[in-house]
A and B are shown apart, each in its own frame.
Chain A
Amino acid sequence: MSRLRTRVRQLAVCYWLQIKILLISPFEGFLGVVFPLMFATATLMVYRLNGDADALQYAGLGAAVMGIWTSVTVSASSLLNRERWSGTLELLVAAPTPFSLVLIPITSAMATVGLYSVLATIVWNRVVFGVRLQIESWPLFVLGMLMATLTIALFGFLLSVTAIRYRTSWALGAALEYPGWLLCGFVVPLGLLPDALRPLSWALAPTWAVEAMRAAASGASPWADLAVCLALGLAYAALAAYLGVRLVDSARRNATLALT
């Protein structure tokens, strides 16, 4: 029991200190504030051309989650490179704490910053574009939003472990940013995507989280979508933990922990 408490404490303290690191940088703070609003603005300006209120509602909801996807996928895949550059990666790996437990607070801190972007975008959409989200069940909508945050964080966790072995894997996150907006159905209905891409969409947990949020907004039951979303999130976590151990071993064999 005390071991569990120690572990929970480790996760909580590390999470808090990582939040501090993220929030202290004025430049990154500025980007974190402005980027999601910029993306939402571009999306809504495109969608309001036809004057279709339903389409605007659809885009407003998807745009809210776009920011969190961007902030977590792009940042998570570069976060270990950041540690590598600052010389702390070796210290993190050399710690007796399992590496996956070192990474979880870092990606969770990023997801928390991403959660801000959801709230900021909803307010921005309402104030600037007059898009008032019609939500039938706010509790289920918020649950879907939290699930999106959690599963995107777990997806970021999966991306981040690859960077320990492959120094250039930061590019993976950057490459996933815009395709993710489409594949997860944030701004384009999945029905419009080619059939070949559907399995890819289904494998992404945020797809189901956004579906759950849309269901909660329209008054339908979001539980099936939430269950699939959670299952996929847990699968990401298990895969990341498995890969984490193997990729750390591979990094020790191939000497990729340090810069040189």
Chain B
Amino acid sequence: MTAVVARDLTRTFRTHEGRFKRTRRDVAAVRGVSFTIEPGELFGLLGPNGAGKTTTIKMLITLLLPSSGSASVLGHDVVTDLREVRRRIGYVFGGDRGLYDRLSGLDNLRYFSELYGVPPREQRQRIGQLLEVVGLTGREGERVEGYSRGMRQRLHIARGLLHDPDVIFLDEPSIGIDPVGARELRATIAGLREQGKTVLLTTHYMFEADELCDRIAVIRDGRIVAEGTPAQLKGAVASGRVLEIETYGVPQHVVTALTGPDGVAGVRSASVVERGHLQVLGLQCDAESEVTQQVLARLGDVRVGRVSAREPTLEDAYVALVTDP
């Protein structure tokens, strides 16, 4: 049985504007999203802020009703079969919120164990195991208000796993965590897949998605614009190579002029990333083309530093997908 099915999911939010003359406006956050996740698969949902990732997850975990379309988790409809869906899923989101600050970590886990139906006889052992898994053993008696962000996030994960759910939704779980904490978190998520759990992960970090996900869907403006394995996405969107040129003060019109009808043949797209006092000009190029000399000529008087070429990464594919007109 397919673990998660989303078919043409749409979700529209109604907002009001104006203080005296109120006008109503419908905003479509998700516009016909469809995908499936197989049991044991780690599926990534990538997209910029406001693309519809969290809204999609909230429909799947029964917190939002879809405006249209349908979805099921382990064969249970997310609109009509709430109780069964909720028993089988875990939900973890990133950030500081979602815990009772005045309670200890242990009391937080006890509270949610009761609400998520963990049998009383199993609670003590289960909580102990999870504290071990997330590395909070010995700190469980402290109040959550004294926890660091990383500790809170790990407690969140323990909370989401309390009832041993089959399907776990992780909504940007590594947001705001330091590199060491993020690495530990990735190891924990990888461990979930090894246990046979089905995971839907949303993240902004491409290396995280590349390292963890079996398949990825890229969502943009409420629509899925690409789906496949990380290798397929890299290949489909950025087959070729990436030329990176360090520049000092490259004007935007020069960058724009590198692509388009009068641009350099073989350059598909160009973007600039600020890195300290320099700007790194990134060019997606056809594999067989040799464009370096032509591009340097177009840069004219712009001071240039190191020039390098590399294979495309998932981030290149992602940037191309979410920025292409």
Binding site for B on A (CB under 8 A): 6, 9-10, 13-14, 17, 20-21, 24-25, 86-88, 90-97, 102, 249, 252-255, 257-258
**Contact pattern, B 57-87, Cβ under 8 Å of A = 1, otherwise 0:** 0100111110000000000000000010011
CB neighbours (8 Å) of B64 from chain A are 252, 255
Shortest C-beta distance, B110 to chain A (Å), equals 6
Q: How far is the CA of A9 from the CA of B110 in the complex (A)?
A: 12
Establish whether residues B65 and A88, one from each chain, have CB atoms under 8 Å apart when the complex forms. Answer: no
Q: Which of B63, B99, B112 contacts A93 (CB 8 A)?
A: B63
Establish whether residues B115 and A10, one from each chain, have CB atoms under 8 Å apart when the complex forms. Answer: yes
CB neighbours (8 Å) of A249 from chain B are 65
Binding site for A on B (CB under 8 A): 13-14, 58, 61-65, 83, 86-87, 91, 93, 95, 97-103, 107, 110-112, 114-117, 119-120, 143, 159
Task: Give 7 nearest A-B pairs by CB, closest first.
Answer: A87-B97, A87-B98, A95-B115, A96-B86, A24-B102, A10-B114, A252-B65
Closest A residue to B102 by CB, please name it: A24
Establish whether residues A91 and B112, one from each chain, have CB atoms under 8 Å apart when the complex forms. Answer: yes
Establish whether residues B111 and A17, one from each chain, have CB atoms under 8 Å apart when the complex forms. Answer: yes
Closest A residue to B117 by CB, please name it: A96
CB neighbours (8 Å) of B62 from chain A are 94, 252
Contacts A13-B110, A88-B97 aside, 4 further interface pairs with beta carbons under 8 A come to A14-B114, A14-B115, A88-B99, A94-B63
Q: Which of B14, B86, B97 contacts A94 (CB 8 A)?
A: B86
CB neighbours (8 Å) of A14 from chain B are 111, 114-115
Establish whether residues B115 and A257, one from each chain, have CB atoms under 8 Å apart when the complex forms. Answer: no
Sampled A-B contacts (14; CB under 8 Å): A9-B114, A10-B115, A13-B110, A17-B103, A17-B107, A17-B110, A24-B103, A88-B97, A94-B62, A94-B91, A96-B86, A253-B65, A255-B64, A257-B63
Closest B residue to A98 by CB, please name it: B83
Q: How far is the CA of A236 from the CA of B120 in the complex (A)?
A: 31
CB neighbours (8 Å) of B112 from chain A are 91, 95
Establish whether residues B120 and A6, one from each chain, have CB atoms under 8 Å apart when the complex forms. Answer: yes
A24-B102, A255-B64 in contact; A86/B97 too (CB < 8 A)? yes
Establish whether residues B107 and A20, one from each chain, have CB atoms under 8 Å apart when the complex forms. Answer: yes
Q: How far is the CA of A90 from the CA of B119 in the complex (A)?
A: 22
Establish whether residues B117 and A97, one from each chain, have CB atoms under 8 Å apart when the complex forms. Answer: yes
Closest B residue to A88 by CB, please name it: B98
Establish whether residues A94 and B111, one from each chain, have CB atoms under 8 Å apart when the complex forms. Answer: no
- Residue from B93, B100, B114 having most chain A Cβ neighbours under 10 A: B114
